[in-house]
Structure 1
Amino acid sequence: MDTDVVELILADHRRFEDLFRELRSSEGDRRTALAELAGLLVAHAEAEETQVYPALRRLGAADGEEVEHGSEEHDEGHRALLALLEVGEPGGSGWDEALEELSGAITHHLDEEERTLLNDARERLTRDRRGALGAEFARMRARLLDSGCGGVEQVRELVRRAGS
């Protein structure tokens, strides 16, 4: 398995896009897709903020402003995720609006992160360094996913901690 941190993050980004398509479809299992999306969004963001962002900054592959902006966008995504989780029944009243709010926030973040932080990481970090960082990211992400990090109470706590 490739542990290049850039490739691992990009794979998660593509999975987010797939899950948003599933959540928009009335034919799929939206509850399962939402549970997967919630867990993956939280685990991905937390692993980036604790493992990837600090290392990119320390290694000179990102500046403080880029890192802070990425963290702020994670907070925005958590708020939008919480709003969707609190709608209740997939397809119910407020579902489409909350889903599009979340999708818009996440899509914006993915686009910016791919054009800035990830391109900078490709250019400024060796393949070995990206591999080591990817292994740390993957371990943290897996631990968080195993802990059920995408539950509504866990997301509420993230939003509360962010001061929202």
Structure 2
Amino acid sequence: MPSSAIDIGRPLSGDVIDLILDDHRRFEDLLRQLRDAHADRDAVRRAFATLHVAHAEAEEKEVYPTLRQRDAIDAHEEEHGEEEHAEGNQALLAVLELKGTDTQAFDDAVEELARVVNHHLTEEELTILNPARDGVAERTRQSLGEAFARERNAQVDADCGRLENVQAIVARDKKKGLLDDEE
């Protein structure tokens, strides 16, 4: 697994809100490392790619549908979260497709990725996670945490952050209409 040198966590259970927030803090840390010219930026981008894809796929498969069923979020919030994941995957793809990590093009692509991801983290914490903490029973959040962790870990085990997979996900998201054509 290419991201094994960098710890992206491997939760097995817990409150789904806490598990998602833990990943959000990992994203922020990895983005700081991607900006660091002295870091192994290639290893960091592979770890970021794995975490981003695994996290987003697990949220879309396990978390968003359950929160919607429990009326913690509505259809618009679910779709908006998916659109923001798609935008994040598209920005991630731009970082992954660059050969070198010591160029201005890499720095620019990392800043765009940081902009898109940080926007999503803030919005998701305010509009999805806070209402879910208040509106979804702890038992449900615990079982949802197990489902999220199981799917997240299965994605990691499948090396979900590899370039070809991210390309396929971006193509899927374009087909689903989650990305604007001009982006």
Q: Normalization by structure 1: what TM-score?
A: 0.97
From 138, 154, 171, the equivalent of 1:143 is: 154
Q: 1:91 aligns with which of 102, 114, 136?
A: 102
Contact 2:73 2:131 in 1 (8 A): yes
8 A Cα contact 2:13 2:146, kept in partner: no
SS of the aligned residue for 1:144 comes to helix
Q: Matched residues in 2 for 1:23 and 1:150: separation?
A: 16
1:76-109 per-residue CA deviation (whole Å, 9 max, x = no partner) reads 0010000010112112241011000000000000
Whether 1:125 aligns to 2:136 is yes
| Secondary structure of residue in 2 paired with 1:148 | coil
Quick one: distance in 2 between partners of 1:36 and 1:69?
Answer: 25
Gaps of 5+ in 1: none
- Counterpart CA distance in 2 for 1:63 and 1:112 is 15
Q: Do residues 4 (structure 1) and 24 (structure 2) align?
A: no
Match for residue 101 of structure 1?
Answer: 112
Q: Please report the RMSD computed on the Cα atoms of aligned residues, expressed in angstroms.
A: 1.0
**Counterpart in 2 of 1:13?**
24
Tell me if structure 2 keeps the 8 A contact 1:66–1:117: yes
Map of 2:49 onto structure 1: 38
Partner Cα distance (1:74, 1:68) in 2: 10
**Per-residue Cα deviation, 1:18-68 (whole angstroms, up to 9, x for no partner):** 000111001111111111100000000000000000000001110000000
Partners of 2:24 and 2:166 lie apart in 1 by: 19
CA contact (8 A) 2:56 2:85 kept: yes
2:168 aligns with 157
Matched letter for residue 66 of structure 2? A
Q: How many residues align?
A: 164
**2:80 and 2:135 mapped to 1: Cα distance?**
20
User: Structure 2: how far apart are the matches of 1:91 and 1:6?
Assistant: 36
Q: Which has the higher helix share?
A: 1
What is the CA–CA distance in structure 2 between the aligned matches of 1:91 and 1:146, rounded to whole Å? 29
Identity across the alignment (%): 49
Name the residue aligned to 2:5: none
Alignment match of 2:66 (pick from 36, 55, 59): 55
Aligned to 2:86: 75
Is it true that 1:25 corresponds to 2:47 in the alignment? no
For structure 2, which runs of at least 5 residues remain unmatched after alignment? Answer: 1-11
* 1:87 and 1:93 in contact (8 A); partners too: no
Structure 1 ranges of 4+ moved more than 4 A = none
Asked whether the 8 Å contact 2:30–2:48 carries over to 1, the reply is yes
